Amino acid sequence: MHPPRPKRVLQGPQFVDHLAEWLLTHCPFTALALLILLVAGARFSIPRPLVFVAVIALGDVAVNVIRERRQPRKENRPTLMRTNVPA
């Protein structure tokens, strides 16, 4: 009999770690906004936290669009040199 397969649905701390890494890589401003809400949310009352996060997420989207447009495009042209030939 085979051992049971591990569940790939939300695996607690591992999922949170991967989510935090993804947020820091792709959406740094949103990650910072969520951290501010977690830390300072109890001390200061923010009237509409979802609007606050949504505005900052739009900033992240703008940054990602600018990053994507600034990356050089790769052209699919055949080259005369063969790169994988031993010397």
In a domain, 22, yes or no: no
Structural domain count of the chain: 1
pLDDT, position 86: 66
34 assigned to some structural domain? yes
Confidence at 77, pLDDT banded by 50, 70, 90: low
Query: Do residues 61 and 68 touch, judged by C-beta distance below 8 A?
Result: no
Assess whether pLDDT exceeds 80 at residue 2.
no
Residue 87: its pLDDT value, please?
60
Q: Is position 46 within any domain?
A: yes
Which residue range(s) make up the domain with 62? 29-70
Is residue 79 predicted with pLDDT exceeding 80? no
pLDDT of residue 58: 92
Mean pLDDT of 40-60: 85
Dihedral (CA of 75, 79, 81, 86) sign: positive
